C-alpha cells in the first residue's frame, strides 16, 4: 500500500487543487438538517469582542464524530468560548472540556457557556498538559480536539495585557499573567545574541540586528516598561521603505516577544504528539494557526503520521506500520472573503484537520 493520503469522499474530501483552500459555504449544505437547525451561526456574534474564526467549518468537520452521540471534545484554547458555544449548540449530547492558560479567559468563557450546564468542564492549564487534564477526569482518549492557536481576541482587546502595539500599555504579554517572564524582562535582560535569535526565529524579522542594537542602547538609558516607547524605537529602527510596504514596523517584534514570553512554539511542539496520542481511533483533530511557524509544525506533525511506515516494495502493509492519520484537508484552508470582511482577524488563519485511523505504536 503506498504512503500518503487515504481516499476520501463526501463533504470532508479535500479539493484536488494544491495549496491553501478557501473554507466556507452554507452549513446546511454540508451537514444534516437537524444539525444545521440546532446551530445557525448565531453564537458567533454573541460577544462583540470575539468572532470565532471558521466556526461553521469546524462544526462541519466535527459532525461525523460528535453528532447524535455521547462524544467528548477538548477545546485546548477555549478563550472566550466562541467555538465551544457553537459546538455545544450544534451537538446536544457533546461533553466539552474547556482548557486555557489564561484565568481571565476561563472566567469569561465560564459565563458565556453557563447555559450549557454540566456538559462543560473547565481546566486552567497550558495545552501541552492535555494528558494530565484527561487523567484527572478518568479519561485516556477523547473523540475530538480543537486548537485555536495564538493570541486571543480578549488579550488583544485589553490594553493592560500589553499584546497590542496600537495602544500604550505595560510590556507584559503573558497569556497567564500569574506566572513567567514579561516582554519587558526579555527586552531588558536578554543578551544581544538572544534578542536577535528571538526576533529572527519567531518574528521572521529581517532587521533583527538593527532593532537589537537600538534596544540595547535604549535600555542602557532606562529599562523598557511600556509599549509606546518600544513602538517608537521600532518605527525609527526599521527603514522607511520597509515601513511603506511591510506592514506596521512593530508587528513582527511584538509577535516574536509574545511567542518567547509564552514559549508558544515549544509548547506546541510538545502538545501535538501528546494530543494525537490522546485521540481515539475514529476521532478528529482541528488546528487553526495564524502564522507560518505554527502552521509548519502542524503540517509536519500531521504529514508524518499520515504516511505508511511499511518499507517500499513490499506487496502488503506490515501490521502496525500503516498510517495513523487520515488528512481531512489538502493543504491549509483559509477563511473566505465574506468572513474576513466581518472579522479581519480571520485573514491569516490556516486550518488543518485530521482523523485518527490507526493506533500509535
Check whether 83 is labelled as a binding-site residue. Answer: yes
290 is in an annotated binding site: no
123 SS3 class: strand
82 is in an annotated binding site: yes
Tell me the HSE value of 30 on the side-chain side, using a 13 A CA sphere.
21
How far lies 128's CA from each of 125, 132, 171, in Å?
Answer: 8, 9, 25
How far apart (Å, rounded) are the C-alpha atoms in residues 321 and 262? 36
Q: Which three cell numbers stand for residue 338?
A: 465574506
For residue 263, say whether it is annotated as part of any ligand binding site.
no
Q: How many CB atoms lie within 10 A of CB 159?
A: 14
Is 47 within any annotated ligand binding site? no
Site of grid cell 499584546: 163
Angstrom distance (rounded) from CA 336 to CA 330: 16
Closest CA to 200 of 72, 303, 293, 286: 293
41 is in an annotated binding site: no
321 is an annotated ligand-binding site residue: no
C-alpha R_g of the chain: 21
Whole-angstrom Cα distance, residue 163 to residue 169? 8
**Following DSSP, what letter does each residue of 138-199 receive, concatenated?**
T-S-EEEEEEE-S--HHHHH-GGG---SSS--BS---SSTTSS--HHHHHHHS-HHHHHHHH
Start-end of H helices in 19-95: 33-38, 55-66, 82-90
Annotated binding site: 81-83, 100, 127, 148, 155
Which residues are annotated binding-site positions for S-adenosyl-L-methionine?
A: 81-83, 100, 127, 148, 155
Amino acid at each position: 500500500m503506498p504512503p500518503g493520503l487515504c481516499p476520501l469522499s463526501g463533504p470532508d474530501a479535500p479539493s484536488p487543487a494544491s495549496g491553501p483552500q478557501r473554507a466556507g459555504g452554507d452549513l446546511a449544505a454540508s451537514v444534516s438538517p437537524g444539525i444545521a437547525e440546532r446551530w445557525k451561526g448565531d453564537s458567533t456574534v454573541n460577544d462583540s469582542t470575539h468572532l470565532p474564526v471558521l466556526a461553521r467549518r469546524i462544526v462541519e468537520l466535527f459532525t461525523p464524530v460528535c453528532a447524535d452521540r455521547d462524544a467528548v471534545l477538548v477545546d485546548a484554547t477555549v478563550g472566550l468560548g466562541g467555538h465551544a458555544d457553537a459546538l455545544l449548540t450544534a451537538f446536544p449530547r457533546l461533553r466539552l472540556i474547556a482548557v486555557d492558560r489564561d484565568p481571565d479567559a476561563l472566567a469569561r468563557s465560564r459565563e458565556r457557556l453557563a447555559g450549557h450546564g454540566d456538559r462543560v468542564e473547565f481546566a486552567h492549564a497550558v495545552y501541552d498538559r492535555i494528558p494530565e487534564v484527561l487523567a484527572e477526569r478518568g479519561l485516556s482518549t477523547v473523540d475530538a480536539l480543537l486548537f485555536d492557536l495564538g493570541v486571543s481576541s480578549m488579550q488583544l482587546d485589553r490594553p493592560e495585557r500589553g499584546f497590542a502595539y496600537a495602544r500604550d500599555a505595560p510590556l507584559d504579554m503573558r497569556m497567564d499573567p500569574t506566572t513567567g517572564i514579561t516582554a519587558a524582562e526579555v527586552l531588558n535582560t536578554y543578551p544581544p545574541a538572544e534578542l536577535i535569535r528571538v526576533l529572527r526565529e519567531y518574528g521572521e524579522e529581517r532587521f533583527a540586528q538593527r532593532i537589537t542594537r537600538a534596544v540595547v542602547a535604549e535600555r542602557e538609558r532606562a529599562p523598557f516598561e511600556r509599549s509606546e516607547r518600544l513602538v517608537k524605537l521600532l518605527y525609527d529602527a526599521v527603514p522607511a521603505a520597509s515601513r511603506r510596504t511591510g506592514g506596521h514596523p512593530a508587528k513582527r517584534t511584538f509577535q516574536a516577544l509574545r511567542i518567547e514570553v509564552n514559549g508558544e512554539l515549544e509548547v506546541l511542539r510538545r502538545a501535538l504528539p501528546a494530543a494525537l496520542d490522546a485521540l481515539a481511533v475514529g476521532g478528529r483533530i482541528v488546528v487553526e494557526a495564524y502564522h507560518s511557524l505554527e502552521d509548519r509544525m502542524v503540517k509536519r506533525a500531521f504529514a508524518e503520521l499520515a504516511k505508511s511506515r511499511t518499507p517500499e516494495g513490499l506487496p502488503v502493509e506490515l501490521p502496525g506500520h500503516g498510517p495513523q492519520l487520515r488528512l481531512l484537508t489538502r493543504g491549509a484552508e483559509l477563511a473566505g472573503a465574506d468572513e474576513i470582511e466581518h472579522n479581519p482577524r480571520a485573514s491569516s488563519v490556516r486550518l488543518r484537520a485530521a482523523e485518527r485511523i490507526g493506533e500509535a505504536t
